[in-house]
Amino acid sequence: MPTTPATAANSSSTGTAEAIMLELVDENGTTIGTAEKLAAHQAPGQLHRAFSVFLFDEQGRLLLQRRALGKYHSPGVWSNTCCGHPYPGEAPFAAAARRTYEELGISPSLLAEAGTVRYNHPDPASGLVEQEFNHLFVGMAQEQLRPDPEEVGETAFVTAGELAERHAQAPFSAWFMTVLDAARPAIRELTGPAAGW
């Protein structure tokens, strides 16, 4: 993984686990401080910066991932291609590319900004709260996936119709439809009208 000032400041040279810090923001997305990751998600939640990635194949199918069962937040549910949090001082675009590579083993191509969305989604199962200012990105998945099993339980490429069927039957992350709907204009621009997004 390329080292940037943000990733260097947030990696451990001793091999010990260090607290993961998130960037707290105001309603306009302006940085106002930092908080430890778990603390930021405990009710009522602290508004923090996040990102969501939507990658598609050449047929216009969306790459979904089912979160690994060992995840502390929303384990075992389906969600968008990749989501996470920039380190304090890390650009959301860089964080999105970094985490997509860490989780799925691919570097997205044609990755483009798709706006932002702010939401507050409590997770009934864990009691944690997603209070996020989320930066959205769309792009293409054009490499062989190499998912990290500690992060990703399963992957699937789905059409818009297949997604609707899956969403009606399987558990999805609390934030999934919010971020998908916010990203739809950019998704349609990337995939074209025939893909049905």
Strands (E), the chain: 21-25, 31-36, 48-56, 62-67, 78-79, 82-84, 109-122, 129-140, 152-158
Asked if 55 and 61 count as a contact pair (C-beta separation under 8 A), the reply is no
Catalytic residue among 23, 83, 90, 103: 83
Catalytic residue among 23, 90, 130, 132: 132
d(CA 88, CA 10) in angstroms, rounded, equals 9
Taking alpha carbons only, the member of 88, 93, 68, 91 closest to residue 78 is: 68
**Is there a catalytic annotation at residue 82?**
no
Instruction: Name, in order, each residue with C-beta under 8 angstroms of 33's C-beta and a sequence gap of 6 or more.
Output: 23, 24
d(CA 146, CA 104) in angstroms, rounded, equals 5
| CB-based burial label for 15 (10 Å; 0-12, 13-18, 19+) | exposed
**Is there a catalytic annotation at residue 132?**
yes
Count of Cβ atoms closer than 10 Å to residue 58 Cβ: 9
Q: Which residues are catalytic?
A: 83, 132
